[in-house]
């Protein structure tokens, strides 16, 4: 499952993102989303930032560029992080490719 | 599963992960006190078509606001109970809204109103916890002798059939009192053979009295249905090994005299919202001094100020101080402010039935001699140590 860097990926409507205590968690609520019924996914800081950055019209390359500027990091490195987490989330049906 | 970016954890039986430090990890919500069954032993049920009660119940929007507030305080699970929660025409809407807050749902129901649409919704959006179904009889005669509603058994079994057909996880729970031995066996068979349950069949037999302290004639009737403490112990015989194992684990953590403080359980650390928007420190405790009106305040205020103050209460009742405060069976006994409220209208009056039940169980486990009273036992630490380590 390869991530298209020129595509837009959006969170599934069947995933609820919650901040509990200091944790940022994703709660899948529908059958077929997530790997097991009602498992919770805790995102680390990088994962959290990327999840929050998913938005309509914002391609992977756009997000990488914006985060690289914001965090003063290399665009290539950020893009790899984005591709890494999006690959996982896509496998779990927690995001979908827009359009 | 763990990766560079996220880790996965299952809620499992824990209601509170990851919000274990949250202000409100779990919430009970009684969506209505009305029920389409009229069970003879029920602590809360009101008539299905009681228009006056219906109009007082929280609206859909009020319930959603409460659920949303709870989510904001880290709530991970809500139990919807009643009365019969499925009597509410907006149940599906409330359910889906709750799931969309990322909160898992436990539903207590008699299943008589379970239908294709609702079970389809559960398939698409699983509750996250097994549905808990009361099944008070295994024939129409035995079920309807409890529910007092003709045709209710067939509806309950149809509801259970739908849950089974759609593969929705559920438990069934029953009751037992004298004269219902055949039904008890039939229920146990149903649980073990038909449902292939991996836990022993669950029977309630030490019924609670009316939580609103209404219907005095019914209260007397409920008392008459209760299994005696001695009979309760006989019922444990079949699952003795598992019971002893559980009791040891429990004793290690919770037994020993509680002193004069009334609240020694989790009561008030979470709570239960009744059908009209009053927040109770637990599902059963409705003493006027212990409930908080959510329409005039907030969860936060209740959980940070009102309930903590309540939990500081100490007993001034001589009988309680003489018996319960120094009794090492505390934790093992159901005596609590809620039971005291339901039985006596007070927070700290010893409840004889709970006391006798705890004593009977303690004798069954070898913790007490025949004539001993637990609050008079001086070597209770030695006895508990021996029990916990050797049984």
Domain range list for chain A: 9-97
CB proximity A91 to B under 8 Å: no
| Closest by Cβ to A27, choosing from B1, B3, B102 | B102
Q: Which CATH number fits domain B26-227: 3.40.50.10860, 3.40.1190.20, 3.40.50.150, 3.20.20.70?
A: 3.20.20.70
Mark yes or no for CB contact A44/B6 under 8 Å: yes
Closest CA–CA distance from residue B18 to any residue of chain A (Å): 7
| CB of A29 closer than 8 Å to CB of B96 | no
Q: How confident is the model at residue B16 (pLDDT cuts 50, 70, 90)?
A: very low
DSSP B389: H
The answer to whether B6 contacts A36, with C-beta atoms less than 8 Å apart, is no
- Residues in chain A closer than 8 A to B18 (CB atoms): 20-21, 23, 25, 40, 42
Is-contact B93 A23, C-beta < 8 A? no
Is A93 part of the contact surface with chain B (CB cutoff 8 Å)? no
What is the rounded CA–CA span in Å between residue B248 and residue B375? 20
B12 confidence band (pLDDT: 50, 70, 90): low
pLDDT at A3 over 60: yes
Per-residue pLDDT tens digits for A33-66: 997 655 789 999 999 999 999 999 999 999 999 9
- Nearest Cα of chain A lies from the Cα of B310 at a distance, in angstroms, of 26
- Residue B210 in this model has a pLDDT that exceeds 90: yes
- Cross-chain Cβ contact A40/B8 below 8 Å: yes
By Cβ distance, the residue of B6, B20, B22 closest to A43 is B6
The confidence score (pLDDT) of residue B155 equals: 98
Mean pLDDT of B265-292: 95
Q: Where in chain B is the domain with CATH 3.20.20.70?
A: 26-227
Output the average pLDDT for chain B.
93
The confidence score (pLDDT) of residue B22 equals 87
Residue B130 has pLDDT above 60, yes or no: yes
A28 touches chain B (CB under 8 A): no
Taking CA atoms, B48 is separated from A64, B35, B197, B299, B308, in Å, by 58, 5, 32, 29, 36
pLDDT of B11 strictly over 80: no
Q: Chain B contact for A90, CB < 8 A?
A: no
The interface pTM score, or ipTM, of the predicted complex is 0.94
What fold does the segment set A9-97 form as a domain? Answer: Arc Repressor Mutant, subunit A (1.10.10)
For the CA atoms of B89, B93, B99, B105, the dihedral, rounded to the nearest 10 degrees, stands at: 0
Where does residue B8 fall: left (phi above 0), alpha (psi -120 to 50 degrees), or beta otherwise? beta
Q: Is A25 on the interface with B (CB under 8 A)?
A: yes
How many Å apart are CA A11 and CA A14, to the nearest integer? 8
- With beta carbons less than 8 A apart as the criterion, state whether B158 and B136 touch: no
Q: CB A30 to CB B124 under 8 A?
A: yes
What is the distance between the alpha carbons of residues B301 and B224, in angstroms, rounded to a whole number?
A: 41
The DSSP annotation for B125-172 comes to S--BS-EEEE---SSHHHHHHHH--TTHHHHHHHHHHHHHHTT--EEE
The model's confidence at residue B121, banded by pLDDT at 50, 70 and 90, is: very high
The mean per-residue pLDDT over the stretch B204-232 comes to 95
According to the model, what pLDDT value does residue B5 have? 82
Q: Which pLDDT value is given to residue A40? A: 87
Say which of A17, A42, A88 has its CB closest to residue B9. Answer: A42
Percent of chain B, pLDDT > 70?
96
Interface test with B, best of A15, A24, A27 (most B CBs within 10 A): A27
Q: B382 pLDDT band (50/70/90 cuts)? A: very high
Strands (E), chain B: 6-10, 26-30, 34-35, 46-47, 77-81, 104-109, 131-134, 170-175, 202-204, 271-273, 278-280, 292-293
pLDDT tens digits for range B66-110: 999 999 999 999 999 999 999 999 999 999 999 999 999 999 999
pLDDT score recorded for residue B17: 56
């Amino acid at each position: 499952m390869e991530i298209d860097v020129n595509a837009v990926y959006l969170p599934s409507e069947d995933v609820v993102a919650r901040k509990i205590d200091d944790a940022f968690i994703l709660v899948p609520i529908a059958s077929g989303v997530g790997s097991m019924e009602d498992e919770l996914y805790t995102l680390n800081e990088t994962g959290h930032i990327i999840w929050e950055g998913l938005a309509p019209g914002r391609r992977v390359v756009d997000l990488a560029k914006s985060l690289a500027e914001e965090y003063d990091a290399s665009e290539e490195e950020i893009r790899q992080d984005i591709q890494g987490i999006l690959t996982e989330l896509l496998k779990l049906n927690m995001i979908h490719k827009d359009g | 599963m763990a990766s560079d970016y996220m880790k996965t954890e299952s809620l499992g039986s824990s209601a509170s992960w990851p919000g274990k430090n949250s202000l409100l990890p779990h919430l009970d919500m009684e969506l209505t006190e009305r029920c389409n069954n009229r069970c003879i032993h029920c602590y809360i049920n009101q008539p299905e078509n009681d228009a006056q009660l219906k109009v007082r119940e929280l609206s859909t929007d009020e319930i959603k606001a409460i659920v949303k507030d709870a989510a904001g305080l880290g709530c991970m699970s809500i139990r919807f109970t009643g009365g019969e929660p499925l009597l509410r025409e907006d149940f599906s809407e409330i359910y889906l809204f709750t799931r969309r807050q990322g909160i898992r749902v436990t539903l207590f129901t008699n299943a008589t109103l379970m239908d294709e649409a609702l079970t389809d919704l559960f398939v698409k959006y699983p509750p996250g916890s097994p549905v808990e179904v009361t099944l008070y009889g295994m024939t129409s005669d035995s079920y309807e002798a409890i529910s007092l509603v003709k045709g209710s058994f067939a509806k309950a079994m149809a509801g259970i059939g739908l849950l089974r057909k759609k593969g929705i996880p559920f438990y069934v729970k029953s009751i037992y009192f004298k004269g219902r031995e055949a039904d008890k066996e039939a229920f146990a068979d149903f649980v073990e053979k038909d449902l292939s349950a991996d836990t022993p069949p669950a029977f309630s037999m030490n019924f609670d009295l009316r939580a609103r302290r209404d219907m005095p004639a019914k209260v007397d009737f409920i008392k008459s249905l209760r299994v005696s403490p001695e009979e309760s112990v006989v019922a444990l015989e079949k699952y003795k090994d598992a019971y002893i194992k559980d009791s040891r684990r429990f004793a290690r953590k919770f037994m020993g005299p509680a002193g004069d403080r009334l609240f020694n359980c989790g009561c008030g650390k979470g709570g239960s919202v009744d059908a009209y928007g009053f927040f109770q420190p637990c599902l059963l405790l409705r003493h006027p001094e212990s409930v908080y009106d959510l329409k005039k305040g907030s969860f936060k205020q209740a959980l940070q100020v009102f309930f903590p103050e309540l939990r500081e209460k100490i007993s001034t009742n001589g009988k309680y101080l003489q018996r319960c405060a120094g009794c090492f069976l505390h934790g093992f006994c159901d005596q609590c402010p809620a039971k005291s409220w339901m039985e006596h209208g007070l927070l700290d009056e010893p409840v004889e039935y709970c006391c006798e039940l705890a004593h009977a169980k303690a004798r069954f486990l070898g913790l007490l001699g025949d004539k001993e009273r637990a609050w008079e036992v001086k070597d209770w630490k030695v006895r508990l140590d021996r029990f916990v380590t050797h049984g």
